[in-house]
Structures are given as structure tokens and as C-alpha cells.
DNA sequence: GTAACTCATTAGCAATGCTAAATACCAGTC
DNA sequence: GACTGGTATTTAGCATTGCTAATGAGTTAC
């Protein structure tokens, strides 16, 4: 790993990444597939889709949100019938949160809409640019979870 | 440009990009260099650094925010001594917003702190991964501004 | 000169995050 | 068994930051 702080090119890349990620993130927030679902709620459903089920505390850590915030998010999702809450098998303080079939269907439907928006935006890129972005996507995802 | 929506790999990349950008964006929000400055305020200063000066309306469009929101942001920045407001030369409805020397200094100082945080996170990547990310950074920036 | 438009602002609201404190539970120690 | 300290979740209240609708000032086209 080069010295990211003192290598000029890398410093420029880091700065570029930051502003791009923040701006793109703000624009993505507006592209809700389901108007009644916030970005974080969507993200939680996505996490549950990957992990199967988790406790509120685990979800809060994974989403980088404080536990009280996750409490509200989970409550909203439950009210919408998108997650199910069950008692934790070993620890009665905790709960197990898992998604419902309804959430499954919504995720599938929304995924195509989301992809369409971003893909449409990406039409403004040429072949070469898109190739670079595609190569970097898994890396960016890894970075986001580090 | 390939058919981004129906090509499986590209669809996966798009989906991956979206979640990564949103999560990383949320984490970046917490890495404020000046605790009293919101991410959007920072972004406005960055835009002013690139553009020199602009009207509130132009800033709102560039930041993908509604005009009333920009009014408040500009007012807060002015109260902090980070931007200056001058009458528009041609149109008395509009104002020209430009950054102060204080903003300049703050941007420079904060840039290094921001870079340090992201660079530190990127230490978890190997050489090859970082190379991909660096290649994609300008593309991501272009995409965000499309 | 007036009608229609545009820019910025004000007022009020909604969403979404936070901290501090309360509640329920677990685990180790006397 | 009861006590003490620690952890998970929730409740209550607050701050931030975005929005829409409506207002006021200024411009432009007819």
C-alpha cells in the first residue's frame, strides 16, 4: 500500500472520491423506489437480505447508526409488514429481526428501478469509463464496510 | 455503452455501487473537520472554491438542493464569516456569494484531515484494489455531476 | 404600463439522526 | 440466593437539515 496521505495522486483520488461519494449519495437518496421507505430503511432490508436475520444492536453497528435510531427504524419496518420480530433464543434482552416475504418482493421490484436510474445516469459515460467503474464497484463496497 | 440494465454483471455493479456509495457517504458525514460545519455547508464551500462565486440559485442547482435550503446554508456560512455576499452587478434580485480567506484556510486545513481518514480506511485495501479505486475516482466524480 | 416570470426569502413542517435516562435482563461474586 | 456491574433495547426529548407553499422584490415581454 502506498502512502496515501503524502502521495499526490492518491491524495487527489481520495479527495475526489469523497466529494463524488457524498454528492452521488445525496442524489441517490432522492431515487426512492418506494416513497414511503427511507434510504436507511432500505439499507436495513438489504442487510437483512444478506445476513438472514440479526438483532437490532447488530443492525445498528452494521448500518453505523446508534441503537435508538435502529429501534425506530425496525419499529417502522414492522408496522409496514416488512420485518418480523422474534424472541432471541438464548438472551431475552435481545430480539431477532428478519425480513418478510413482502420485503423480499419489494426488494426485487425496487432493485430494477434503482438500477434503471443509476444505469441511465451511467449512459453519460463512455465504454472505458464504465469499465473502470465496474472494476472498482466491489472495492468501493469493501471500503465502505471496513 | 453496453445495455446496463439487462447485462447481469453491470446490474450487479450498479447495485453494488449504490449500496457502497450510500454507506460510505453516511460514514463520511461523521468525519467533519469542523464540527460546526455540516456536510452540505462544506460542499458549498468546495463548489465556491471551484467556481469562484455564484448566486444562491446556482449553488442550489449544483448541490441538488432546493433554493430555500440554500438560503439558510448561505446565511449560516455568512454568520460564520466563511462567505461574503455582494449585490449582483446586473440583476438586483440576485446576490453573488463568494468565499472568504477564512474559508480558504479552513478548506485547506480540513482537506488533509479528511484525506487522512479516508486514506486510513483505504489502508485495508491491497495495492491492486487501490489502483482500481484510483482509476475510478474521476469517473465517479463525473457520474455524480451528470 | 402591466402581466407574467424569476430569484431569494420567510414560515412552517417532516424526516431522521442523536444523547441521556429508563427498563429488562444476564453474569459473576459474596 | 442476593448484590453488583455490564449489556440490549427502548423511551423521551432535541438538533439538524431537508422540503413545500406563500411572499416580496425585480426583471422582461408585450
- Domain locations in chain B? 1-30, 31-145
Distance from residue A42's CA to nucleotide C23's C1', rounded to whole Å: 29
Which residues in chain A touch residue B45, judged by CB atoms under 8 angstroms apart? none
Region B57-86 average pLDDT = 95
Residue B2: pLDDT over 60: no
Distance from residue A92's CA to nucleotide C25's C1', rounded to whole Å: 7
d(CA B77, CA B79): 5
Return the sign of the alpha-carbon dihedral for residues B42, B16, A54, A102.
Answer: positive
Distance from residue A66's CA to nucleotide C27's C1', rounded to whole Å: 25
Instruction: Report how many helices (DSSP H) and strands (DSSP E) chain B contains, helices first.
Output: 6, 3
pLDDT (0 to 100) of residue B6: 52
pLDDT (0 to 100) of residue B15: 78
Region A73-94 average pLDDT = 95
Chain C: positions less than 7 Å from a protein CB are 6-12, 15-21, 24-27
Q: List the alpha helices (DSSP H) in B2-66.
A: 8-30, 39-51, 56-63
- In this structure, are residues A122 and A133 in contact, taking their beta carbons and an 8 Å threshold? yes
Region B26-55 average pLDDT = 84
Closest residue in B to A15 (Cα) is B115
Which residues fall inside 7 Å of strand C, measured at CB? A 38-41, 64-66, 68-69, 72-73, 91-93; B 55-58, 60, 67-68, 70-72, 74-75, 91, 93-95
Strands A83-87 and A95-99: antiparallel
- Please give the CATH architecture assigned to the domain spanning B31-145: Orthogonal Bundle (1.10)
pLDDT (0 to 100) of residue A5: 47
pLDDT (0 to 100) of residue A30: 67
Average pLDDT of chain A is 86
pLDDT tens sequence across A103-124: 998 888 777 776 777 778 888 9
Residue B28: pLDDT over 90: no
Instruction: Give the nearest partner residue to B115 out of A14, A39, A138, using CB atoms.
Output: A14
Q: Greater confidence, A101 or B110? A: A101
Alpha-carbon gap: B78 to the closest alpha carbon of chain A (Å): 22
Determine whether the interchain pair B115/A22 forms a contact, defined as Cβ–Cβ distance below 8 Å.
Answer: no
Q: Kindly state the cell numbers that stand for B137.
A: 475516482
Q: Greater confidence, A67 or A33? A: A67
Distance from residue A126's CA to nucleotide D15's C1', rounded to whole Å: 43
- In this structure, are residues A114 and B114 in contact, taking their beta carbons and an 8 Å threshold? no
Residue A6: pLDDT over 70: no
pLDDT (0 to 100) of residue A79: 93
Average pLDDT of chain B is 86
d(CA B110, CA A22): 16
Residue B4: pLDDT over 60: no
Which residues in chain B touch residue A32, judged by CB atoms under 8 angstroms apart? none
Region A129-133 average pLDDT = 93
Band of residue B116 on the pLDDT scale cut at 50, 70, 90: confident
Amino acid at each position: 500500500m502506498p502512502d496515501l496521505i503524502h502521495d499526490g495522486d492518491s491524495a487527489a483520488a481520495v479527495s475526489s472520491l469523497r466529494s463524488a461519494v457524498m454528492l452521488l449519495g445525496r442524489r441517490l437518496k432522492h431515487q426512492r423506489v418506494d416513497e414511503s421507505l427511507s434510504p436507511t430503511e432500505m439499507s436495513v432490508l438489504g442487510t437483512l437480505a444478506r445476513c438472514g436475520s440479526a438483532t437490532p444492536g447488530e443492525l445498528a453497528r452494521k448500518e453505523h447508526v446508534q441503537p435508538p435510531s435502529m429501534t425506530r427504524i425496525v419499529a417502522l419496518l414492522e408496522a409496514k409488514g416488512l420485518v418480523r420480530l422474534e424472541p432471541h433464543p438464548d438472551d431475552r434482552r435481545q430480539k431477532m429481526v428478519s425480513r418478510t416475504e413482502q420485503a423480499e418482493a419489494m426488494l426485487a421490484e425496487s432493485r430494477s428501478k434503482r438500477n434503471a436510474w443509476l444505469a441511465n445516469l451511467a449512459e453519460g459515460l463512455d465504454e472505458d469509463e464504465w469499465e473502470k467503474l465496474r472494476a472498482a464497484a466491489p472495492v468501493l463496497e469493501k471500503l465502505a464496510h471496513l
